[in-house]
Amino acid sequence: MEKDRVRISALLDLYGAALPARQRDVLDLYYNDDLSLAEIAEDTGITRQGVRSALLKGEAFLSGMEESLGFFAKGQRIRSAAEEIARAADAAGDEGLARLSARLLAEI
């Protein structure tokens, strides 16, 4: 469950600008600020059911974008490869490669 929250939060960072403002705000409040549906409804002036509907539509949109574009999955594969390079550089004692892989990991 927590993994899904992290994934949706990451997808929101990647694709959130393409969402309508209200959906983006609702998703941000729910996934990044950890507010309940009732708290979001109170803050935004929409019903709890409206909040739930915005969440479902926004989640579906974000998942569809990831399915089409795959930026999150590509980023995960790049991070995994960079970590593997860092481990190999450490094992080989290659300080230059270790610094380069650390720089790459900091950018991801």
Q: At the topology level of CATH, where does 2-69 sit?
A: Arc Repressor Mutant, subunit A (1.10.10)
Residue 70, by phi and psi: left (phi above 0), alpha (psi -120 to 50) or beta? left
CB 32 within 8 A of CB 9: yes
pTM over 0.95: no
CB 28 within 8 A of CB 35: no
| pLDDT digits 0-9 by tens, 14-54 | 999 999 999 999 999 999 999 999 999 999 999 999 999 99
Plot region of 37 (φ>0 → left; ψ -120 to 50 → alpha; else → beta):
alpha
Domain ranges of the chain: 2-69, 73-107
Round to the nearest angstrom and report the end-to-end CA distance of the chain.
Answer: 24
